[in-house]
Chains A and B, each alone.
Chain A
């Protein structure tokens, strides 16, 4: 990385907002807001009672139950697989859509642009019903396929509602791109395609990451559309949780959520450790020449 090492005791430089107390206080406030409820959830997953407000003593029994609950683990695996596949596809398709809209003038552009906004505005249930009828009548997804092909219909549906989100985020970043850079690359002999890959893509990397995170979250969280596209042999984590509600959510689910959070933190930690910490913010360094 090109960042200079900053001496600790210096007063904050003008742009080091992170070292100013109002911003620090704000960040702490937001962190409490976002994490307070989750931390209580995590703490009470160790509670020796089903109550989420009154502490009755420490126990690991819900973890034991969650980890031995085969259907919960299968649902978990399905959800993560779907989220992973749909994120990769959404990022690729979404980025392509954003670039084409940013770079080219073409007939029907406004229409394409508008159509791209529809998946964002359509209520989930409406899209869910559309997908239900589509996969039931127009393109029946074969039943009984081996894993993970049986998840295909759900993955397709998830990409449909996630990739426009990626496109919105990527376009916001492209708006600032200095096109002369791309021209310069072409002047130096790069093809259109090479110039795109070597100049534009690095610039939009942070937005690709941001878009990927969005797509991943959207997919992991989706219940309605998943429910309507799922075949008889696929249960995802949200579908399981929603179905539990009739008999009140069990502490096992809180335990499972805690495990999910911890696993996510650990994996990200490892990934950052091995790949260098610029992974999340890649592209930032290349701009500083």
Chain B
């Protein structure tokens, strides 16, 4: 159980000081300015008048924006799920790799992410586009088959890999995978390996061990992986912008254009803070559920 802060005041205050200071001064303060804007109105081109209006929020709840919210949740959710499925075996493999290999595997995962997001996205475009490397490879295979069979396959039709929602999800997984693998690894790494051995010795297969032992024990890591993959995915604007088609606009694209092109900071602020409120609600619900679970145990 946690200790009450009174039992170790010195340590508590030392540990709390820096994060609290940073959070309040360098985060809450700047953000509360924007929060106030969400209740304001443009006053001329430069100034924003704080009027206490709710009209920005009312506007945000129109079906147009709600639909975009829903769509963004879908895309971010799918991305997170794919990252979990793809990343889990990788994290598992790293966890059980030899100590010599481990740092190299971690580096292998992280290295692509030292490259600028925009450049990585452009690299992906070069691979996926109509005359990209995948389609050119397919065309070569296609033509050689045609050559052997005398044109049995007909004219080559390039796959539409880019400028649609598929490309957006593909790109988001490509971009966000390490956000999933790192927390998974750091949670799996501290698993008591003897428990796994015991499970395997007692005749459970690898898959059963995975679902009955590993996943429950790594729950916190999985949750944190989901959290820090889902949220950046929800807030991504560059990937849908560059890889998506006409309909691939996510909520962050709308927020971005409100702050920039439309020069409507109050409305952009309201849309942004809807995301924040949703998070608070999610955390509160989680808190209530946990408290209930604890009561049941007690």
Contact = CB atoms under 8 A, between A and B. Distances in A.
B133 A210 contact: no
Contacts of B110: 213, 217
A123 B116 contact: no
Interface string B196-235: 1100110000000000000001001101110110011011
A115 B5 CA distance: 19
Given A125-B259, A253-B119, A287 B126 contact: no
B157 interface: no
Interface string A27-55: 10011011111101100100000001100
B64 interface: no
Given A93-B18, A117-B279, A168-B227, A35 B33 contact: no
Contacts of A279: 103
B97 interface: yes
Given A122-B31, A133-B30, A210-B183, A110 B287 contact: yes
Interface string B123-148: 11011010111001000000000000
Interface in B235-269: 235, 237, 251-252, 255-256, 259-260, 265, 268-269
A120 interface: yes
A40 to B, nearest CB: 6
27 contacts: A14-B197, A23-B92, A41-B123, A41-B126, A104-B12, A106-B12, A118-B27, A122-B272, A122-B275, A123-B251, A124-B237, A125-B252, A125-B259, A131-B30, A133-B30, A160-B27, A167-B19, A173-B189, A175-B187, A193-B14, A213-B110, A213-B178, A214-B179, A245-B118, A257-B116, A264-B114, A280-B106
Interface of B: 2-5, 8, 10-12, 14-16, 18-20, 22-23, 26-31, 33-34, 86, 89-90, 92-93, 96-103, 106-120, 122-124, 126-127, 129, 131-133, 136, 174, 177-179, 182-183, 185-187, 189-191, 193, 196-197, 200-201, 217, 220-221, 223-225, 227-228, 231-232, 234-235, 237, 251-252, 255-256, 259-260, 265, 268-269, 272-273, 275-276, 278-280, 283-284, 287
Contact of B279 (A103, A121, A167, A207): A121
Interface residues on A, range: 35 or more
Given A30-B86, A113-B283, A172-B221, A18 B101 contact: yes
B183 A168 contact: yes
B10 A213 contact: no
Contacts of A285: 99
Contacts, number: 331
B7 to A, nearest CB: 9
Contacts of A9: none
A52 B132 CA distance: 9
Contacts of B265: 129
Given A53-B133, A172-B221, A249-B122, 17 more contacts: A6-B98, A18-B101, A30-B86, A34-B109, A40-B123, A105-B5, A123-B252, A123-B256, A160-B23, A163-B22, A193-B14, A206-B186, A217-B110, A238-B118, A261-B111, A265-B111, A272-B103
